[in-house]
Amino acid sequence: MNKEAMLTDWKPDLYMRFNSERTQPSIDLIYRIAQVEPKSIIDIGCGPGNSTRVLVNRWPKSKIIGIDSSAAMIQKARQDYPNQEWVIADATSYEPEIKFDIVFSNAAIQWIPNHEALLMRFYSFLSDRGIVAIQIPQFWDMSLGQIINNIANKNRWRERTAGISSLFTIENRSFYYDILSKLFSSIEMWETQYMHILESHGAIIEMMRSTGLKPYLEKIDNDADKEVFEGAVLEEIKKAYPIQKNGKVILPFKRLFFIGYR
């Protein structure tokens, strides 16, 4: 994850309160990769190591490195998985010492700009028969992302949150396909809409506080106004996501996946 996109470091404990929702896409991506026996894997934007752990479970004999620009995330990963190799590094400047059979990234590159250059860079990390496997949240395709952006563009918040939406780099599937098709002999792409079953509308806010809401809240300079901003988002969330008969709320969450095989 790109620290330069944030004013403060990430909060691993807050992020992992929704461990299941955040880890399931990495499981789905990893087990979609064709049967291979990789000698080396890199997890780019590994966060607190939850996705890296899934890689280890599938390929326990592989050399697996997790990198993230967040010192807090790497500290948490080292604490929870001390036997793994963790590196604090920015994906746009990291220079690996080896080539990798799999370059993997789950819900991270949306924080990194210039995806054409980034994918070319990932390609350069690969061994001769290497694989790139990536998942990206489709934040702007969801009511949730649109609600947050719409609130941020209202008069009260527009000046303070100016430019925040540009911190997200999320392209469409055609964009990624056109780049991948120049590099890889075989490509898989798919979208999944996960139905996250949450306890309340407030749980949606809590889940987003460590990701999609984070850069907006950090640009608001006092706690009282942060609460007002969150409250405005919450009111719109209540309109968009009905309460179920048992009191819970379904949050559809759309993600794009792609795998490229050299």
Q: What's the pLDDT tens digit per position in 184-222? A: 999 999 999 999 999 999 999 999 998 899 999 999 989
pLDDT at position 5, please?
44
Domain ranges of the chain: 3-261
Question: Is the torsion defined by CA of 21, 204, 148, 48 positive or negative?
Answer: negative
Q: What's the pLDDT tens digit per position in 121-138? A: 999 999 999 999 999 999
Largest CA distance in the chain: 55
Q: What's the pLDDT tens digit per position in 49-94? A: 999 999 999 999 999 999 999 999 999 999 999 999 999 999 999 9
- Alpha-carbon distance of 231 to 234, in angstroms, equals 5
The CATH number for 3-261, chosen from 3.40.50.720, 3.40.50.150, 3.40.50.300, 3.40.50.1820, is: 3.40.50.150
Please give the average per-residue pLDDT across 22-38, as a whole number: 95
Mean pLDDT of the residues in the chain = 93
- Alpha-carbon distance of 80 to 91, in angstroms, equals 22
* Adjacent-strand bridge partners of 64: 41
Predicted TM-score (pTM) of the model is 0.93
Please give the average per-residue pLDDT across 97-118, as a whole number: 97
Q: 223-240 vs 201-209: helix axis angle to the nearest 10?
A: 130
Burial track 81-113 (b if 16+ CB lie within 10 A, e otherwise):
beebebeebebeebeeeeebbbbbbbbbbbbbe
The amino acid sitting at 120 is: M
